[in-house]
Amino acid sequence: MQQAVDQRLTIGAVLALLRNEFPDADVTISKIRFLEAEGLVEPGRTPTGYRKFSTADVDRLRYTLRMQRDHFLPLKVIREHLDKIDRGFEPPTVAENAPRVVVDETADDAIPAPSLSSVRSTVTMSLTDLAEQVEMSVPEVVELRQMKLIAPLPGTDEYGVDAVEVARGIAVLTQFGIEARHLRPVMNAADRQVQLISNLLGPKLAGSDAQAADEVRDEAQELAKELLRLQSTVMRTILAEEFGSPK
């Protein structure tokens, strides 16, 4: 029994475990490191500096991912929950009517499938609330809007799930020293890929009925997913050439 208690997992083993339990959460090694940097988990270290995660560490990561997925809680609030748990108290009850993230269940393997479903617009929030959700300052979020990296929903001053996901992704990238201004090429590349899809499939929408339009949208999502898969493979190949393959 003592051996099981003292068992520690590498970050790769933790990643495999969490990806299996949270297939739609886009768990990566970078995300685990980010959660560590934000104080959600404090793994031990080997003499050579490698992270080793205890069962309690993995449970904290599970709790964090579950609260993000099911209740859209910001890390600051999740950290407060974990502090209460550490002191032996029950974590606060999260209201069932709290904003919840709509998870895209069409993901295949590690490539998220872009969703055109209207259900992604059911969660909306103000710019101030968005800043709190992603733990950025309001001026930082305003800058993202001014740079057109995020935008409110059409005809409103409210922001949807997509804007939150973009802002959260940018917040993670800033931990690596990447600034918002560096991301314009990424957005431009996405625009070009969407334009490619539009040029291919847009003519099919002309004069189509509702069922045919749905089929075109499904085809657009599938094409977007395959473009992302290709992009991921190309990046992996180039990274291997630049930094060497993992051993």
pLDDT digits 0-9 by tens, 168-207: 889 888 888 888 888 888 888 989 999 999 998 888 877 7
Tokens of 77: 């609030």
| Residue at 125 is within a domain | no
Residue 188 included in any domain: no
What is the number of domains present in the chain?
1
Is 80 within a domain?
yes
- CB atoms under 10 Å from CB of 145, counted, come to 16
Domain presence at residue 213:
no
Which residue matches tokens 């490191």?
Answer: 33
pLDDT digits (tens, 9 = 90+) for 70-97: 888 888 889 999 998 888 888 877 765 4
Q: Say if 155 falls within a structural domain.
A: no
Residue 79 sits in which domain range?
1-101
Q: pTM of the predicted model, to two decimals?
A: 0.52
Cα distances from 79 to residues 4, 66, 135, 137, 235, in angstroms, run 27, 13, 12, 18, 34
The answer to whether residue 169 is domain-embedded is: no
Beta-carbon contacts of residue 5 (< 8 Å; ≥ 6 apart):
55
Domain at 4, CATH number: 1.10.1660.10
**Residue 23 placed within a domain:** yes
Q: Is residue 107 part of a domain?
A: no
- pLDDT, mean over the chain: 81
pLDDT tens-digit readout, 9-57:
988 889 999 999 998 777 888 789 889 988 899 999 888 778 899 999 9
